C-alpha cells in the first residue's frame, strides 16, 4: 500500500475517534456499549495501520538503498566495460552487435556507432564465417573458445588473429537471447609462437647436420681403415713375396676386410631403416636356440651363457638376418661389458601391451614377444644410457668398436614395429628388453636348410648383367668355376643383343636393378617376353627405398643385396634355378 494512502487513512480514523469520544460525553448519544465496541474496533484498525506504515517505511528505505547500490554497480560495470583493455561485444542471438567497448572498436578498426547494428560475422575473414554461424545456431548454452581472424580497418587493412570467447547471458532467461563476446588479440603471440617453431626447426636441422657429420666421420674412419688394409695386403700380394702360405694369408685378409666392409654397410642400412628385407614368419625362441652354439663361441669360456627360451613365446614376421644381427650385437655388447667374466642370460616370453603406460608407453596395444638380454657386467651411468643408441657413440677404444652395434639394434627393432629399453646401474650389469610384434603361428613352417657346397654347382646358362666391371668379371669367374656358362653384359641393351644372338637355352638372368638406360626390371620384362622360360635374380647395392619403385621387392621376385661373398651368390643362384616358377609364371 502506498505510504500516502496509509497516512490519509490514519488521519481519517483519528478524526472519527475524536468524534466518537465527543458523542460518549453527550447524554443523547448512542448507548455506551455500542460506542465502546466501535471505539475498540477503530483502535485495532489504527494499530494495524501504524504497523503497516512502519513496514512500508522500512521497505521504502530498503528500495532506496537497493536503487543506489544498483546505480553504483551499473556505473561500475559501465566503467569496466568502457575502460577494459580487453575487447567486449554484446550481440543478440543472430549476432547483431548491440554494444561494443572502446577496446573492441580499436581492435576491429570501427567506431561504436558504426559497429552497432552490424552483423558480427561480416567482420570476420570469409573462411571463418561458417564457424561463427555455427556457434550462433547452437545458441551457446556453454562457454566456448575459438580462434578466428578479424579483418581490421585501422590503421591499415590488416588481419588480426583473435581468440574469441562467447557465452550466452543466463541472467535473463525469459528475455531474447543475448550473447557476450570476449575478443583477445593473439596476433603477436601467434607470431612469437611461429618464430619459436621456426627456431626449433632450425635447431633440429642443425642437430641433424651435426649427427650426419658424426655419421660421415665415423663411416669415413671405418672404411678408410678397411681400404688401407685391403690396399696394403693387395700390394704385398702383387709383389708376390714370401711363401704360398703368406700370399694366401694376404688374400684371406683382403677377403676378411671386404666382409667387414659389407657388415658395416649392412649396419648403416639397418640404422637408417633402408636395408632390403626378406621377411617371413620366425619362431623367435627357435631361431635364438639355433644360434646358441655360435653365441657360446662368441662370448668365450669365461662367460656363462644361460638361455630361458619359452617355446610358446610366439612368432614374429621379420627378416632372419636382422633378428640374428640384433642378438649378436646385444651378446657382443654384453661380452665386452664383462672382460673378467660373468653371466649372460637370454630370455624370451609372451607379452601384452595394453596402452596404459608401462615400459613401452608408445607401443600400440596388442600381443608382443619379449626378448630380455641380461648381463652381470660393469653397467653404465644415466648419462651413458641416455646416449646408448646414438650412431658412432661408444665407450670403447676406436679400434675395438664402431659405435654402430646398438644403434643398429635400435634401428632394426623400430623398423620391425617394436621398441627397446635398457635398465642399468654402474657395477650392477645391464638388462636390455625388446618388444617385437607377435603374429599367429603359420600352419606350416619350413626352415630353410643350407645346401651343401657340392650342390652349389651347375651346368646352366646364365646371363649376368652388371655395369660395374669390378663386380661383373669376378662374379663371372666364380660362376664359371662352378660349371656354369656365363654370358656377361655391361648394360641392358648389350644383354638383349647377346640373348638374341644366343641360340641355345638361357636358364637365368642375373641383373643389376639400377643401370644407365634401361633398368633391370625393364630388361627382365623385355627378356621374359622373348624367353618365357628364363628365371630372374635381381641384385643391387642401393637401399630399399631406391629400388622399391622398380618393383623388384615383390614377394614373387628373387633379390640379392650387395655386397655378397661368392658362397652367398652361388647359393642364391642355385636356389633360383631350382625354383619351379619362371618369369612367365610370375
pLDDT at residue 399 greater than cutoff 90: no
pLDDT at residue 428 greater than cutoff 80: yes
Domain count, the chain: 5
Please tell me the distance from the alpha carbon of residue 464 to that of residue 472, in angstroms, as a whole number: 7
Among 185, 214, 230, the domain-final residue is 185
Strand order through the sheet with 178-185? 97-100, 87-92, 178-185, 158-168, 144-152
Q: How far is CA 223 from CA 218, 390, 406, 578, in A?
A: 9, 19, 19, 37
Mean pLDDT of 342-346: 93
Are 312 and 413 contained in the same domain? yes
DSSP codes, 14-65: HHHHHHHHHHHTSTTSS-HHHHHHHHHHHHHHHHHHHHHHHHHHHHHHHHHH
Please tell me the distance from the alpha carbon of residue 547 to that of residue 527, in angstroms, as a whole number: 20
Summarize pLDDT for 261-273 with one digit per residue, the tens: 766 666 555 555 5
Q: What percent of the chain has pLDDT over 70?
A: 68
Are 247 and 264 contained in the same domain? yes
Q: How far is CA 516 from CA 201, 491, 503, 549, 558, in A?
A: 38, 7, 27, 16, 21
Are 346 and 373 contained in the same domain? yes
In a domain, 485, yes or no: yes
In a domain, 17, yes or no: yes
How much is the pLDDT for 94? Answer: 78
| Residue of 112 and 456 predicted with greater confidence | 112
Are 569 and 462 contained in the same domain? yes
In a domain, 192, yes or no: no
Among the listed residues 213, 198, 260, the one whose alpha carbon sits nearest the alpha carbon of residue 233: 260
**How, if at all, do strands 461-465 and 485-489 pair?**
parallel
C-alpha grid cell, residue 349: 616370453
Asked whether the CA dihedral 547, 551, 553, 559 is positive or negative, the reply is negative
Bridge-partner residues for 510, per DSSP? 464, 537
Among 252, 271, 290, the domain-final residue is 271
Phi and psi at residue 316, to the nearest 5°: -130, 160
In a domain, 194, yes or no: no
pTM of the full predicted structure?
0.42
How much is the pLDDT for 565? Answer: 75
How much is the pLDDT for 232? Answer: 62
Please tell me the distance from the alpha carbon of residue 371 to that of residue 162, in angstroms, as a whole number: 53
Among 271, 293, 312, the domain-final residue is 271
* Residue 534 CB neighbour total at 10 angstroms: 21
pLDDT at residue 518 greater than cutoff 80: yes
Highest mean pLDDT among 163-167, 298-302, 329-333, 374-378: 374-378
Q: List the alpha helices (DSSP H) in 364-404.
A: 382-386
Are 428 and 519 contained in the same domain? no
Please tell me the distance from the alpha carbon of residue 197 to that of residue 178, in angstroms, as a whole number: 39
Mean pLDDT of 73-91: 75
Mean pLDDT of 438-456: 58
Among the listed residues 331, 338, 413, the one whose alpha carbon sits nearest the alpha carbon of residue 370: 413
Query: 40-77 in b/e burial notation, b at 16+ Cβ within 10 A?
Result: eeeeeeeeebeebbeebeeeeeeeeeeeeeeeeeeeee
Summarize pLDDT for 549-583 with one digit per residue, the tens: 555 556 667 888 777 778 888 889 998 998 877 66
How much is the pLDDT for 143? Answer: 55
| Residue of 185 and 216 predicted with greater confidence | 185
Are 419 and 518 contained in the same domain? no
How much is the pLDDT for 245? Answer: 73
Q: Are 478 and 484 in contact (CB under 8 A)?
A: no
Per mean pLDDT, which range of 236-250, 411-425, 535-549 is the poorest? 236-250
pLDDT at residue 59 greater than cutoff 80: yes
Across the chain, mean pLDDT equals 77
pLDDT at residue 188 greater than cutoff 90: no
Q: Are 316 and 282 in contact (CB under 8 A)?
A: yes
How much is the pLDDT for 130? Answer: 79
| Residue of 386 and 531 predicted with greater confidence | 531
Indicate left, alpha or beta for 195 from its phi (over 0: left) and psi (-120 to 50: alpha).
Answer: alpha
Mean pLDDT of 330-340: 88
Are 113 and 262 contained in the same domain? no
Are 263 and 242 contained in the same domain? yes
pLDDT bucket at 221, cuts 50 / 70 / 90: low
| Residue of 211 and 279 predicted with greater confidence | 279
Give me the domain span that covers residue 509.
Answer: 453-577
Are 316 and 333 contained in the same domain? yes
Secondary structure string (H, E, C) spanning 70-118: HHHHHHHHHHHHHHCCCEEEEEECCCEEEEECHHHHHHHCCCHHHHCCC
Q: Are 445 and 283 in contact (CB under 8 A)?
A: yes
| Residue of 365 and 37 predicted with greater confidence | 365
pLDDT bucket at 359, cuts 50 / 70 / 90: confident
CATH classification of the domain holding 512: 3.40.50.2300
Eight-class DSSP state of 119: B
pLDDT at residue 445 greater than cutoff 50: no
How much is the pLDDT for 449? Answer: 44
Are 429 and 339 contained in the same domain? yes
In a domain, 211, yes or no: yes
How much is the pLDDT for 201? Answer: 73
In a domain, 470, yes or no: yes
How much is the pLDDT for 546? Answer: 56
Are 294 and 334 contained in the same domain? yes
Summarize pLDDT for 235-284 with one digit per residue, the tens: 666 666 567 777 777 777 777 767 667 666 665 555 555 555 567 889 99
Are 119 and 56 contained in the same domain? no
Q: Are 364 and 351 in contact (CB under 8 A)?
A: no
C-alpha grid cell, residue 253: 685378409
Please tell me the distance from the alpha carbon of residue 123 to that of residue 129, in angstroms, as a whole number: 9
In a domain, 582, yes or no: no
In a domain, 585, yes or no: no
Bridge-partner residues for 184, per DSSP? 163
Residue length of the chain: 586
Amino acid at each position: 500500500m502506498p505510504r500516502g494512502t496509509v497516512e490519509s487513512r490514519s488521519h481519517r480514523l483519528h478524526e472519527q475517534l475524536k468524534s466518537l469520544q465527543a458523542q460518549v460525553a453527550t447524554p443523547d448519544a448512542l448507548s455506551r456499549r455500542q460506542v465502546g465496541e466501535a471505539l475498540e474496533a477503530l483502535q485495532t484498525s489504527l494499530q494495524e495501520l501504524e504497523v503497516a506504515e512502519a513496514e512500508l517505511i522500512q521497505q521504502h528505505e530498503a528500495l532506496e538503498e537497493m536503487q543506489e547500490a544498483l546505480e553504483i554497480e551499473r556505473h561500475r560495470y559501465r566503467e569496466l566495460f568502457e575502460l577494459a583493455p580487453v575487447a567486449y561485444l554484446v550481440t543478440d542471438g543472430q549476432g547483431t552487435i548491440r554494444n561494443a567497448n572502446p577496446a573492441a572498436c580499436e581492435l576491429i578498426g570501427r567506431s561504436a556507432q558504426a559497429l552497432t547494428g552490424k552483423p558480427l560475422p561480416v567482420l570476420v575473414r570469409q573462411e571463418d564465417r561458417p564457424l561463427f554461424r555455427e556457434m550462433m545456431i547452437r545458441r551457446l548454452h556453454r562457454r566456448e573458445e575459438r580462434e578466428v581472424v578479424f579483418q581490421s580497418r585501422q590503421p591499415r587493412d590488416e588481419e588480426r588473429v583473435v581468440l574469441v570467447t562467447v557465452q550466452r547471458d543466463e541472467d535473463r532467461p525469459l528475455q531474447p537471447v543475448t550473447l557476450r563476446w570476449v575478443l583477445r588479440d593473439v596476433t603477436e603471440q601467434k607470431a612469437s609462437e611461429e618464430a619459436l617453431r621456426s627456431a626449433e626447426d632450425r635447431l633440429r636441422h642443425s642437430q641433424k647436420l651435426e649427427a650426419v657429420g658424426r655419421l660421415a666421420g665415423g663411416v669415413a674412419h671405418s672404411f678408410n681403415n678397411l681400404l688401407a688394409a685391403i690396399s696394403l695386403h693387395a700390394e704385398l700380394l702383387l709383389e708376390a713375396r714370401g711363401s704360398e702360405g703368406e700370399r694366401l694369408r694376404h688374400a684371406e685378409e683382403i677377403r676378411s676386410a671386404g666382409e667387414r666392409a659389407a657388415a658395416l654397410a649392412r649396419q648403416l642400412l639397418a640404422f637408417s631403416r633402408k636395408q632390403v628385407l626378406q621377411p617371413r614368419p620366425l619362431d623367435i625362441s627357435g631361431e635364438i636356440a639355433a644360434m646358441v652354439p655360435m653365441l657360446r663361441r662368441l662370448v668365450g669360456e669365461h662367460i656363462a651363457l644361460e638361455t630361458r627360451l619359452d617355446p610358446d613365446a610366439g612368432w614374429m614376421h621379420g627378416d632372419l638376418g636382422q633378428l640374428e644381427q640384433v642378438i649378436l650385437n646385444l651378446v657382443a655388447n654384453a661380452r665386452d661389458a664383462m672382460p673378467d667374466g660373468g653371466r649372460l642370460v637370454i630370455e624370451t616370453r609372451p607379452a601384452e601391451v595394453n596402452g596404459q603406460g608401462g615400459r613401452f608407453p608408445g607401443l600400440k596395444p596388442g600381443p608382443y614377444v619379449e626378448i630380455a638380454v641380461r648381463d652381470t657386467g660393469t653397467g653404465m651411468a644415466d648419462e651413458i644410457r641416455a646416449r646408448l643408441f646414438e650412431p658412432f657413440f661408444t665407450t670403447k677404444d676406436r679400434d675395438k668398436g664402431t659405435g654402430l652395434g646398438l644403434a643398429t639394434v635400435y634401428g632394426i627393432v623400430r623398423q620391425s614395429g617394436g621398441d627397446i629399453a635398457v635398465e642399468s646401474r654402474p657395477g650392477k650389469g645391464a638388462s636390455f628388453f625388446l618388444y617385437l610384434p607377435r603374429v599367429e603361428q603359420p600352419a606350416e613352417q619350413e626352415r630353410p636348410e643350407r645346401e651343401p657346397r657340392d650342390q652349389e654347382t651347375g651346368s646352366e646358362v646364365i646371363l649376368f648383367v652388371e655395369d660395374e666391371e669390378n663386380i661383373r668379371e669376378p662374379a663371372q669367374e666364380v660362376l664359371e668355376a662352378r660349371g656354369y656358362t656365363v654370358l656377361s653384359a655391361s648394360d641392358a641393351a648389350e644383354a638383349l643383343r647377346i640373348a638374341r644372338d644366343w641360340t641355345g637355352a638361357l636358364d637365368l638372368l642375373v641383373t643389376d636393378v639400377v643401370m644407365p638406360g634401361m633398368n633391370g626390371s625393364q630388361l627382365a620384362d623385355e627378356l621374359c617376353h622373348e624367353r618365357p622360360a628364363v628365371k630372374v635374380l635381381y641384385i643391387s647395392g642401393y637401399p630399399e627405398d631406391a629400388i622399391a619403385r622398380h618393383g623388384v621387392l615383390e614377394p614373387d621376385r628373387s633379390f640379392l643385396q650387395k655386397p655378397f661373398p661368392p658362397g652367398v651368390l652361388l647359393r642364391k643362384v642355385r636356389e633360383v634355378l631350382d625354383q619351379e616358377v619362371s618369369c612367365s609364371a610370375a
